[in-house]
Amino acid sequence: MTLPLTSKFSVFVPIEPRPASRPNVSRYGVRYSKNHTEYQQRFKAWLKDGAQTTFDWPYIEKRLCSVTVEFVSTKARTSKLTTPPYDIDNASKLILDCITTAGLIWYDDKTIVHLDARKRFAKDGETAGTYFSVKLED
Protein backbone atom coordinates (compact mmCIF):
# COMPACT_ATOMS: atom_id res chain seq x y z
CA MET A 1 0.00 0.00 0.00
CA THR A 2 1.28 3.49 -0.81
CA LEU A 3 0.17 6.51 1.16
CA PRO A 4 -0.98 9.73 -0.53
CA LEU A 5 1.52 12.58 -0.18
CA THR A 6 -0.50 14.31 2.55
CA SER A 7 -0.98 11.23 4.69
CA LYS A 8 0.44 10.57 8.11
CA PHE A 9 0.67 7.18 9.79
CA SER A 10 0.84 6.77 13.59
CA VAL A 11 1.10 3.74 15.85
CA PHE A 12 1.89 2.95 19.50
CA VAL A 13 4.39 0.14 20.12
CA PRO A 14 3.65 -1.17 23.66
CA ILE A 15 7.19 -2.34 24.42
CA GLU A 16 9.44 -0.68 27.01
CA PRO A 17 11.93 1.44 25.03
CA ARG A 18 15.56 0.36 24.96
CA PRO A 19 18.65 1.90 23.38
CA ALA A 20 20.50 0.15 20.57
CA SER A 21 23.80 -1.25 21.71
CA ARG A 22 27.12 -1.18 19.94
CA PRO A 23 27.80 -4.39 18.05
CA ASN A 24 30.48 -6.68 19.45
CA VAL A 25 32.35 -7.88 16.37
CA SER A 26 34.65 -10.87 16.57
CA ARG A 27 35.92 -13.51 14.19
CA TYR A 28 32.88 -15.58 15.19
CA GLY A 29 30.34 -12.97 14.09
CA VAL A 30 28.46 -9.96 15.40
CA ARG A 31 26.68 -9.90 18.77
CA TYR A 32 24.51 -7.30 20.44
CA SER A 33 23.65 -6.76 24.11
CA LYS A 34 20.90 -8.76 25.80
CA ASN A 35 18.62 -5.67 26.01
CA HIS A 36 19.07 -5.05 22.29
CA THR A 37 18.23 -8.59 21.19
CA GLU A 38 15.34 -8.88 23.69
CA TYR A 39 13.76 -5.72 22.28
CA GLN A 40 14.09 -7.05 18.71
CA GLN A 41 12.48 -10.35 19.76
CA ARG A 42 9.62 -8.61 21.58
CA PHE A 43 9.02 -6.35 18.57
CA LYS A 44 8.82 -9.37 16.25
CA ALA A 45 6.46 -11.13 18.68
CA TRP A 46 4.27 -8.01 18.89
CA LEU A 47 4.01 -7.99 15.10
CA LYS A 48 3.18 -11.70 14.95
CA ASP A 49 0.53 -11.35 17.67
CA GLY A 50 -1.59 -9.16 15.48
CA ALA A 51 0.03 -5.75 15.12
CA GLN A 52 0.94 -6.51 11.54
CA THR A 53 -2.70 -7.14 10.64
CA THR A 54 -4.36 -4.75 13.14
CA PHE A 55 -2.87 -1.65 11.54
CA ASP A 56 -2.96 -0.66 7.91
CA TRP A 57 0.83 -0.40 7.62
CA PRO A 58 1.83 1.83 4.73
CA TYR A 59 4.75 0.87 2.55
CA ILE A 60 6.40 3.98 1.18
CA GLU A 61 9.35 2.13 -0.32
CA LYS A 62 11.95 4.74 -1.28
CA ARG A 63 9.91 7.92 -0.77
CA LEU A 64 11.32 10.54 1.60
CA CYS A 65 9.64 10.91 4.98
CA SER A 66 9.72 12.59 8.37
CA VAL A 67 9.51 10.48 11.52
CA THR A 68 8.42 11.50 15.00
CA VAL A 69 9.04 9.19 17.95
CA GLU A 70 8.19 9.61 21.61
CA PHE A 71 9.70 7.13 24.04
CA VAL A 72 7.68 6.59 27.21
CA SER A 73 9.63 4.67 29.84
CA THR A 74 8.75 3.28 33.25
CA LYS A 75 10.43 5.19 36.06
CA ALA A 76 12.08 3.17 38.81
CA ARG A 77 10.49 3.94 42.17
CA THR A 78 13.81 5.00 43.66
CA SER A 79 14.99 7.05 40.66
CA LYS A 80 15.70 10.73 41.10
CA LEU A 81 16.14 11.26 37.36
CA THR A 82 13.76 13.56 35.50
CA THR A 83 14.17 11.78 32.13
CA PRO A 84 15.04 8.20 31.12
CA PRO A 85 18.80 7.51 31.36
CA TYR A 86 19.42 6.19 27.83
CA ASP A 87 20.67 8.18 24.84
CA ILE A 88 17.75 9.20 22.65
CA ASP A 89 19.69 8.64 19.41
CA ASN A 90 20.34 5.01 20.34
CA ALA A 91 16.69 4.41 21.25
CA SER A 92 15.68 5.89 17.89
CA LYS A 93 18.13 3.67 16.06
CA LEU A 94 16.75 0.47 17.62
CA ILE A 95 13.09 1.08 16.73
CA LEU A 96 13.99 2.28 13.22
CA ASP A 97 16.14 -0.81 12.67
CA CYS A 98 13.33 -3.09 13.88
CA ILE A 99 10.86 -1.50 11.46
CA THR A 100 13.38 -1.68 8.60
CA THR A 101 14.17 -5.34 9.31
CA ALA A 102 10.46 -6.18 9.39
CA GLY A 103 10.03 -4.50 5.99
CA LEU A 104 6.92 -2.70 7.21
CA ILE A 105 7.13 0.91 6.11
CA TRP A 106 10.26 1.55 4.08
CA TYR A 107 12.91 -0.28 2.17
CA ASP A 108 15.66 1.42 4.16
CA ASP A 109 15.59 4.00 6.94
CA LYS A 110 17.94 6.19 4.89
CA THR A 111 14.73 7.60 3.34
CA ILE A 112 14.12 9.47 6.62
CA VAL A 113 15.08 13.10 6.06
CA HIS A 114 13.79 14.46 9.38
CA LEU A 115 13.69 12.78 12.78
CA ASP A 116 12.03 14.33 15.82
CA ALA A 117 12.55 12.35 19.02
CA ARG A 118 11.48 12.86 22.63
CA LYS A 119 11.79 10.76 25.76
CA ARG A 120 9.97 10.93 29.05
CA PHE A 121 8.77 8.84 31.94
CA ALA A 122 5.27 7.39 31.85
CA LYS A 123 2.54 9.20 33.77
CA ASP A 124 0.55 7.31 36.42
CA GLY A 125 -1.45 4.55 34.73
CA GLU A 126 0.18 5.11 31.33
CA THR A 127 1.66 2.17 29.42
CA ALA A 128 5.35 2.35 28.58
CA GLY A 129 6.19 2.16 24.90
CA THR A 130 6.89 4.20 21.79
CA TYR A 131 4.60 6.55 19.87
CA PHE A 132 5.70 6.48 16.26
CA SER A 133 4.55 8.69 13.33
CA VAL A 134 5.58 8.85 9.70
CA LYS A 135 4.72 11.69 7.33
CA LEU A 136 5.65 11.72 3.67
CA GLU A 137 7.69 14.66 2.44
CA ASP A 138 6.62 16.63 -0.63
What does pTM read for this prediction? 0.86
Assign residue 57 a region (left: φ > 0; alpha: ψ between -120 and 50; beta: otherwise): beta
pLDDT, one tens digit per residue, over 121-138 is 999 999 999 999 999 887
pLDDT, one tens digit per residue, over 79-90 is 999 999 999 999
Report yes or no: 71 and 120 within 8 Å, Cβ to Cβ.
Answer: yes
Assess if CATH 3.30.1330.70 describes domain 8-136: yes
Q: Residue 66 and residue 116: Cα distance in Å, rounded?
A: 8
